[in-house]
Amino acid sequence: MRKKILLLVALNLFLSQFLLSKDVLQEYYKQAQEALKNKNLIKAENLFQYLISQDPENSIYHVGLAETYKLKGEFEHAIVEYKRALELKKEKDLSIMNNIATLYKWIRKYKESASWLNKILEIDPAHKESLQDMENLRLRRGLHFEINSGGWEVDYTKKGYDMRLFVGKIDWIDIYIGYSKAERIFYEREELFAKFYFFPKYTTYLKLEFQDKNYDYPNNPDPDSTSYDHTPGIEIEVSHIINSKYKLSILYKFFNPNFYWDEFMRAYNHKIEGRFSSKWFDLLETEVFFALLRDPDSATFTVNKNLRKVARFDYKTRFLLGGNIQISTETFETEIKYIPNRDLDDSLSYSFFFNIEKEIINKSISFPVIIRMDYIYDKYSQYSYLSGKSSKVYMFTLIGEPFSFLRLKFGGKFLIRPQRNEFGFFIGLVYKLKL
């Protein structure tokens, strides 16, 4: 009898401890969910890890930890936790599988992403979200033909056109090839270019860009002594996302122009740029950047224009340091940028760039439309013949994607310059093909 009583007491203690432990875990889970909701990600991570240590077979805890890693930008860790949750569930969870496919897309493993989408469609061939994701993925990594006409760039160009091709067949390489022509007040420029982005990891890329530019001066019979003619060049850039908050980029450019007044004389120009950006409070991003340029010094040029001969010149090194602030919310994005001497030729004292972008969703339109406004303010330096004066650009753009394979944009810009004021239109489209 006594043994039975002791057994009942022990059983009662075990059950009470088990129920107490279950209540404690439930309370911790509520706290973890609350921390995740409030984006207190360190607390959420610690709580979910503790919950898993106490009950490693609970798939809900692994999903919570995966969601935490996703918000922290640790996508590979999130994939591991989602997969573990999927293993622990008795039935296939299409939502978890779709999250895995999305994360593989984010880390540029597009073939893995497509594989997981196919797994979903094998289970449910009519799964709407996965069908749409598969369509978008195939278009995203296909061929893109882009054409622009008018003054589509955020600058003082009013007339020009641009044609480029994007190839995305290989997961770890993005390829852009194109041709453009732009007409400015004092010159016209034609450019052929090829850009190759190599991604050893989704957080890092190496860019190689080859350029070939030609300048002409149809509206300026007497160009400056330093005016270029033919300018081949190469750019090398390395960019790395350090973590979810910081990003660093370094660029080196070499270009080797000859001169309008002497096609046999060439310069050897070097440019270095660097950018460091930081994210704050999920809304604010700040960036500091610099540029260092070594190119011919116009003050040292000796030119015989009758003989079309450059006798001599020296080089000069110029430096700038600028920055920008970007604010992103659920309803709009805006950015303001400050750049001193942005052309690094002492013609401008400083420049301000401002833009604001908002997505409009209207029931009468079957697709969202983006409205964007850009503004440039340039103040001429004391070394310019326009010293004390300023130029401005007001630009408005509408962007829409009526079909998954077609993106359209059009707009106009108003140019206010000391020489004259002008208004121009532009239009562009991107047509996507699957590979």
Same domain for 202 and 179, yes or no, is no
Q: Are residues 241 and 174 in the same domain?
A: no
Residues spanned by the domain of 407: 141-183+329-435
Task: Return left, alpha or beta for 46; rule: phi > 0 is left, psi -120 to 50 is alpha, else beta.
Answer: alpha
Average per-residue pLDDT in the chain?
Answer: 91
* pLDDT computed for residue 248 by the predictor: 97
Output the CA–CA distances (angstroms, integers) from residue 78 to 65, 99, 242, in the order listed.
Answer: 7, 9, 18
Q: What is the DSSP letter of 190?
A: E
Task: Say yes or no: 321 and 333 in one domain.
Answer: no
Residue 153 and residue 204 in one domain: no
Instruction: For residue range 169-220, list pLDDT tens digits in order.
Output: 999 999 999 999 998 878 999 999 999 999 999 999 999 999 999 999 987 7
170, 435 in Cβ contact below 8 A?
A: no
Residue 268: pLDDT over 70: yes
Residues 429 and 349 in one domain: yes
In whole angstroms, what is the distance from residue 205 CA to residue 192 CA? 22
Q: Is residue 135 part of a domain?
A: no
pLDDT of residue 223: 87
**Is residue 89's pLDDT more than 50?**
yes
Is the residue at 159 inside a domain?
yes
Per residue in 42-58, pLDDT (tens digit) is 999 999 999 998 889 99
322 with 333, same domain: the answer is no
User: What would the pLDDT profile of 223-247 be if each residue is shown by its tens digit?
Assistant: 888 899 999 999 999 999 998 889 9
CATH of the domain at 25: 1.25.40.10
> pLDDT above 90 covers what percent of the chain?
72
Residue 111 lies in a domain: no
Task: Render pLDDT for 317-336 as a digit per residue (tens, 0 to 9).
Answer: 999 999 999 999 888 999 99
Give tens-digit pLDDT for 56-71: 999 999 999 999 999 9
Domain boundary among 305, 327, 349: 327
Verify that 365 and 350 share a domain, yes or no.
yes
Q: What is the pLDDT of residue 26?
A: 87
Q: What percentage of the chain exceeds 70 in pLDDT?
A: 95
How far is residue 372's CA from residue 375's CA, in Å, rounded to a whole number?
A: 10
| pLDDT in the model for residue 137 | 94
Tens of pLDDT, residue by residue over 361-395, are 877 777 889 999 999 999 999 988 889 899 999 99
Structure-model confidence comparison of residues 90 and 125, the more confident one: 125
**Would you say residue 98 lies in a domain?**
no
Domain count within the chain: 3
What is the band of 134 on the pLDDT scale with cuts at 50, 70, 90? very high
Q: What was the pLDDT predicted at 15?
A: 39
Q: Are 337 and 356 in contact (CB under 8 A)?
A: no
Tell me whether residue 117 is in a domain.
Answer: no
Residues in the chain: 435
Residue 286 pLDDT greater than 60, yes or no: yes
Is 174 inside any structural domain? yes
Residues 203 and 306 placed together within one structural domain of the fold: yes
- Residue 427 confidence class, pLDDT cut points 50, 70, 90: very high
Q: Examine the domain organization and report whether 25 and 83 are in the same domain.
A: yes
CA–CA dist 371, 382 (Å, integer): 37
- The pTM of the whole model exceeds 0.85: yes
pLDDT digits (tens, 9 = 90+) for 147-169: 999 998 999 988 999 999 999 99
Predicted pLDDT of residue 20: 42
Assigned domain for 39 exists? yes
For 92-102, what is each residue's pLDDT tens digit? 899 999 999 99
**21 in a domain, yes or no?**
yes
**Whether residue 365 is found in the same domain as residue 406:** yes
Would you state the pLDDT for residue 6? 44
pLDDT at 3: 52
**Averaged pLDDT for residues 405-415:** 96
Compute the distance between CA of residue 336 and CA of residue 236 in angstroms, rounded to an integer: 27
Are both 199 and 312 inside the same structural domain?
yes
Whether residues 245 and 306 share a domain: the answer is yes
